[in-house]
């Protein structure tokens, strides 16, 4: 199973980003073309995968749906993205995307950008209503600017004119500057302040523990002891930082893992239910339908087509 905390090599001071062109077919098999700048060369990596595990990472992420539709999880929220929609994923926000679509992903590592590395978690909005820019409900001029900026970065990587790396860096600064200005003007800016470093460290430890142990029975006492908090304080801590209770998040995570197995293995629904930590098949069916909108048997049928 893929590690939940993603920690890829995004770039360096010369080019602190990686660009992905991703297509997901009707069988949920994913083709990924990634481009990253190292020195004066451009690295192109093409791979094929069926993994869409929820994950988080320290770098910033911008997603644009080029065609088709996708279901997306951001922290505890589930939503649908359509052609032209843009999502702004901040540092250490849990997210995943699945759907019959093609989308562009731009990862930017703030560690390599001196001007923002100390406040990178403040740049992107944190409320779900603010971090999704819908094509048919665009927020001012930001939406059209981001579309043009993303296309410009892709074009520069493809054509590589003289000084293209400087032009890409210019586009990154413009892109981040406009997003930060948009975030700062939101009414909920002060409410959605970034996590304190100590809280983030604790939360990362909890999420890693869940990833490593979700297949077995977990209790509040188990998980709270991982970060040396009382069970009652841990419940408040988790709800405050994740927007859901621990068990809501655990069930949602288990269902995401089950969805992968339903699409990629020949295991029965009972076997998958046990494999992801559910002790009751009836409870698994109930929870899966609540989070995915349909029963696991429907996903199982799709895998058999």
Total residue count of the chain as it appears in this document: 305
In a domain, 154, yes or no: yes
Q: Is the pLDDT of residue 76 over 80?
A: no
Q: What is the DSSP string of 36-101?
A: EEETTEEEEEEEEE-----BB-SSEEEEEEEEE-EEEEETTEEEEE-TT-EEEE-TT--EEEESSE
The residue among 161, 184, 207 that closes a domain is 184
The CATH number linked to 217 is 1.10.10.60
Q: Does residue 150 or residue 51 have the better pLDDT?
A: 150
In a domain, 6, yes or no: no
Q: How far apart are CA 165 and CA 148, in angstroms?
A: 17
Note whether 52 and 70 are within 8 A (CB): no
pLDDT tens sequence across 161-188:
998 889 999 999 999 999 998 888 875 4
Q: Does residue 216 or residue 298 have the better pLDDT?
A: 216
In a domain, 213, yes or no: yes
Q: Is the pLDDT of residue 131 over 50?
A: yes
**What pLDDT, on a 0 to 100 scale, did the predictor assign at position 151?**
95
In a domain, 74, yes or no: yes
* Same-domain check for residues 177 and 206: no
Q: How far apart are CA 117 and CA 304, in angstroms?
A: 47
Q: Is the pLDDT of residue 50 over 60?
A: no
* Same-domain check for residues 115 and 212: no
Instruction: Return the percentage of the chain with pLDDT > 70, whole number.
Output: 87
**What's the average model confidence in pLDDT over 7-31?**
83
**What pLDDT, on a 0 to 100 scale, did the predictor assign at position 264?**
83
* Same-domain check for residues 84 and 213: no
**What's the average model confidence in pLDDT over 20-43?**
76
* Same-domain check for residues 169 and 60: yes
Q: Is the pLDDT of residue 1 over 60?
A: no
**What pLDDT, on a 0 to 100 scale, did the predictor assign at position 191?**
41
Give the residue among 225, 228, 220, 222 at the shortest CA–CA distance from 198: 228
* Same-domain check for residues 177 and 205: no
In a domain, 12, yes or no: no
Domain limits at 279? 197-304
* Same-domain check for residues 175 and 217: no
Number of domains composing the chain: 2
pLDDT tens sequence across 186-202:
754 444 445 566 777 88
* Same-domain check for residues 90 and 140: yes
* Same-domain check for residues 208 and 160: no
**What pLDDT, on a 0 to 100 scale, did the predictor assign at position 85?**
95
Instruction: Return the percentage of the chain with pLDDT > 90, whole number.
Output: 33
User: Under 8 Å CB-to-CB from 49, ≥6 apart: which residues?
Assistant: 29, 30, 32
**What pLDDT, on a 0 to 100 scale, did the predictor assign at position 215?**
93
* Same-domain check for residues 65 and 157: yes
* Same-domain check for residues 156 and 211: no
The residue among 184, 212, 227 that closes a domain is 184
The residue among 184, 206, 241 that closes a domain is 184
* Same-domain check for residues 169 and 266: no
Note whether 34 and 19 are within 8 A (CB): yes
pLDDT tens sequence across 242-293:
778 899 999 989 998 898 888 888 899 999 999 999 989 999 999 998 888 8
Please give the model's pTM, rounded to 2 decimal places: 0.64
* Same-domain check for residues 101 and 220: no
Q: Is the pLDDT of residue 57 over 90?
A: no
In a domain, 161, yes or no: yes
**What pLDDT, on a 0 to 100 scale, did the predictor assign at position 170?**
94
**What pLDDT, on a 0 to 100 scale, did the predictor assign at position 60?**
93
**What pLDDT, on a 0 to 100 scale, did the predictor assign at position 305?**
47
The CATH number linked to 169 is 2.60.120.10
In a domain, 11, yes or no: no
In a domain, 255, yes or no: yes
């Amino acid at each position: 199973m893929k590690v939940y905390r993603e920690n890829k090599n995004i770039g360096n001071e010369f080019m602190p980003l990686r660009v992905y062109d991703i297509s997901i077919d009707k069988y949920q098999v994913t083709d990924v073309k990634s481009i990253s700048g190292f020195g004066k060369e451009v690295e192109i990596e093409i791979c094929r995968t069926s993994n869409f595990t929820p994950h988080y990472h320290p770098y910033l992420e911008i997603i644009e749906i080029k065609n088709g539709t996708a279901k997306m999880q951001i922290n505890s929220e589930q939503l649908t993205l359509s052609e032209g929609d843009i999502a702004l994923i901040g540092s250490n926000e849990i997210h995943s995307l699945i759907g019959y679509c093609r989308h562009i992903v731009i990862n930017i590592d703030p560690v390599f950008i001196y001007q923002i590395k100390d406040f990178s978690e403040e740049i992107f909005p944190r409320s779900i209503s603010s971090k999704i820019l819908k094509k048919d409900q665009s927020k001012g001029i930001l939406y059209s600017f981001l579309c043009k900026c993303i296309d410009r970065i892709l074009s520069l990587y493809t054509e590589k004119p003289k000084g293209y790396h400087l032009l890409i860096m210019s586009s990154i600064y413009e892109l981040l500057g406009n997003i930060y200005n948009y975030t700062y003007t939101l009414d909920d800016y002060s409410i959605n302040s970034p996590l304190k470093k100590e809280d983030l460290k604790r939360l990362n430890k909890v999420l890693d523990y869940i990833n490593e142990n979700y297949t077995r029975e977990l209790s509040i006492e188990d998980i709270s002891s991982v970060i040396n908090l009382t069970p009652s304080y841990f419940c408040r801590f988790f709800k405050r930082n994740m927007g859901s209770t621990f068990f809501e998040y655990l069930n949602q995570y288990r269902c995401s893992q089950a969805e992968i197995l339903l699409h990629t293995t020949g295991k029965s629904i009972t076997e998958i239910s046990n494999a992801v930590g559910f002790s009751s098949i009836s409870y698994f069916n109930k929870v899966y339908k609540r989070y995915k909108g349909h029963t696991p048997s429907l996903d199982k049928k799709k895998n058999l087509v």
